[in-house]
Amino acid sequence: MYSEKVMDHFEHPRNVGEIEGASGVGTVGNAKCGDIMRIYFDIDDNQIIQDVKFKTFGCGAAVATSSMATELVKGKSVQEALEVTNKAVMEALDGLPPVKVHCSLLAEEAIHAALWDYAQKNGIKIEGLEKPKSDIGEEEVEEEY
């Protein structure tokens, strides 16, 4: 049912954790299953993503897609990170079963929310980035945990 790459990223997820004093943090909930995901970015003065970490309460597919998504955005500019869509992540993982496609949206939405947070904090505009609909914010998440 799952590709070897999905299993690998599920069993050995990359970039799990958090970043103290992150440049941008995004927390989102999945509308379909209610699972939660948070992404932390460390972005340098040239707007390059130097480090990225994630934490999720999502399922195995969410872990694998988040792991791959963090690998794909690391070292990229904030503008390039916008192009890391859930479709690109699924392709990099050699696909996901149709019932698990919604799980891959968590990573994409959390990346967008973290980029939005970074842009807000620094007063910059990232071309093509829209205000995230589902950033549920720190407080609400603490209650949910």
Two tokens, residue 128: 């093509």
Pick the closer one to ligand FES by CB: 13 or 58. Answer: 58
Report how far apart, in Å, the C-alpha atoms of 51 and of each of 21, 56, 69, 70, 102 are: 12, 17, 12, 9, 25
Q: Tokens representing 131?
A: 């205000």
Q: Which is nearer to ligand FES, 78 or 90 (CB)?
A: 90
Beta bridge partners of 52: 41
Q: Give the whole-angstrom CA distance, residue 16 versus residue 66.
A: 9
- What is the amino acid identity at position 29? G
CB of 62 to ligand FES, least distance (A): 4
Catalytic residue among 19, 33, 48, 141: 33
Report the nearest approach of ligand FES to the CB of residue 42 (Å): 25
Question: Considering beta carbons, is residue 23 or 66 the nearer one to ligand FES?
Answer: 66
Q: Is 103 among the residues known to form the active site?
A: yes
Instruction: Indicate which residue of 78, 103, 111, 119 is catalytic.
Output: 103
Measured CA to CA, the distance from residue 131 to residue 116 in angstroms comes to 7
C-beta of 34: minimal distance to ligand FES in Å? 7
Residues contributing to the site for ligand FES (CB under 6 A): 30, 33, 35, 58-59, 61-62, 103, 106
Q: Is 59 marked active-site?
A: no
Catalytic (active-site) positions: 33, 103
